[in-house]
Amino acid sequence: MAGNYDDRDGKIWMDGVLVDWRDAKVHVLTHALHYASSVFEGERCYDGKIFKGHEHSLRLIESGRLLDMPVPYSAEELDAAKEEVLKANGLTNAYIRAVAWRASGPDMGVSASRNPVSVAIVAWEWGSYYGDAKWQGAKLDISKWKRPDPDTIPAAAKAAGLYMICTMSKHAAEAKGCSDALFYDWEGYVAEATGANIFFVKDGEIHTPLADRFLNGITRQTIIQMARDKGFTVHERRIRPEELSDFSECWLTGTAAEVTPVGQIGEHHYQVGQTTRDIAESYEALVRA
Ligand code: PMP
């Protein structure tokens, strides 16, 4: 069992240099710590190849742009840094976390344009996100929090501030014996889980919420394309909570979650059925192709 995340062996890429893991520190007056000026990526490397690594680098840069926080590296430089980190730590199957944040500097108020933006890239071995729940079908709570209106927050960014309600919802879910929570959006439609997108099956067709108000996951986009290539009809649409009882299968998608079958949401039950298995197995094959 590895130690706490700040107490491990290895190297971390920080602003262009590899530093010892335990020395990858920031000051308490880091702007991001006070004002959530931070964006990040979660990626996976399978058998030495980062799945959609370049897309993740582009998304990090776009998230920074959306927060008026230009990431000071190109996607190609970020791609190279990720490779450097994997090599320095001798990893071929790993989770990769890239993070960009407003560092400490001359400003310590809300406005921070004079503070530099820092970037770090870390990689570590990491298995299944939902552990044993994966093939039994995860049990999801329904969060009391709602995904916010995109006019109130940059909903398309993978920004730290958007995860405040995710952590709170996941804690509440775990306290009830669930492994995750489903969010509705501010208008009451089904949205996503705390770190993954959601899909449903009804009469052999696939339904997933329109991703115009929460993170349009790279895994989500991959799965939609894969399902269409397999001949499935995929509906991207608004889904009402009353419909949760109409679906026969359900799964989550995300870099960490991969394709995780869902067995239960609140009082609604789903089978880990043929479509879920087909999609999950094809995704496993694709990421290692
Ligand atoms: N929604 C949220 C809130 C997430 O944190 C994630 C994980 N990044 C996803 C969806 C899925 O995104 P991706 O498939 O790009 O990992």
CATH of the domain at 168: 3.20.10.10
- Judge whether 120 lies within some domain: yes
* pLDDT value at residue 2: 75
φ, ψ dihedrals at 237, nearest 5°? -160, 170
Q: Examine the domain organization and report whether 75 and 55 are in the same domain.
A: yes
Q: Which amino acid is at 116?
A: P
Cβ 218 under 6 angstroms from ligand 1: yes
How far apart, in whole angstroms, are the C-alpha atoms of residue 181 and residue 202? 21
Cβ 98 under 6 angstroms from ligand 1: no
- Judge whether 51 lies within some domain: yes
Q: Examine the domain organization and report whether 117 and 144 are in the same domain.
A: no
Q: Examine the domain organization and report whether 59 and 116 are in the same domain.
A: yes
- pTM to 2 decimal places: 0.96
Cβ 220 under 6 angstroms from ligand 1: yes
User: Measured in angstroms, how far is the CA atom of residue 160 from the centroid of ligand 1?
Assistant: 12
The residue from 124, 158, 175 where one domain ends is 124
The residue from 63, 93, 124 where one domain ends is 124
- Judge whether 6 lies within some domain: no
User: Measured in angstroms, how far is the CA atom of residue 42 from the centroid of ligand 1?
Assistant: 8
Bridge partners of 28?
Answer: none
How far apart, in whole angstroms, are the C-alpha atoms of residue 36 and residue 200? 33
User: Measured in angstroms, how far is the CA atom of residue 197 from the centroid of ligand 1?
Assistant: 6
- Judge whether 238 lies within some domain: yes
Q: Examine the domain organization and report whether 281 and 145 are in the same domain.
A: yes
The residue from 76, 92, 124 where one domain ends is 124
Among 11, 139, 158, 170, the one annotated catalytic: 158
Bridge partners of 137?
Answer: none
Q: Examine the domain organization and report whether 265 and 144 are in the same domain.
A: yes
To test the pocket of ligand 1, the residue of 126, 158, 252, 260 to mutate (highest count of ligand atoms within 8 Å of its CB) is 158
Cβ 143 under 6 angstroms from ligand 1: no
Q: Examine the domain organization and report whether 105 and 162 are in the same domain.
A: no
How far apart, in whole angstroms, are the C-alpha atoms of residue 196 and residue 216? 10
Let me know if 82 is a catalytic residue.
no
* pLDDT value at residue 3: 83
Tokens of 153: 């927050």
Bridge partners of 141?
Answer: 181
- Judge whether 3 lies within some domain: no
* pLDDT value at residue 20: 98
Tokens of 264: 């239960």
Q: Are strands 197-202 and 205-209 parallel, antiparallel or unpaired?
A: antiparallel
Render 253-270 in DSSP notation, one character per residue: EETTTEEEEEEEETTEE-
Q: Examine the domain organization and report whether 167 and 244 are in the same domain.
A: yes
Q: Examine the domain organization and report whether 137 and 274 are in the same domain.
A: yes
User: Measured in angstroms, how far is the CA atom of residue 106 from the centroid of ligand 1?
Assistant: 33
Tokens of 289: 């192709």
Print the domain residue range for 260: 133-287
How far apart, in whole angstroms, are the C-alpha atoms of residue 195 and residue 261? 14
- pLDDT, one tens digit for every residue, the chain (289 residues): 578 999 999 999 999 999 999 999 999 999 999 999 999 999 999 999 999 999 999 999 999 999 999 999 999 999 999 999 999 999 999 999 999 999 999 999 999 999 999 999 999 998 666 666 578 899 999 999 999 999 999 999 999 999 999 999 999 999 999 999 999 999 999 999 999 999 999 999 999 999 999 999 999 999 999 999 999 999 999 999 999 999 999 999 999 999 999 999 999 999 999 999 999 999 999 999 9
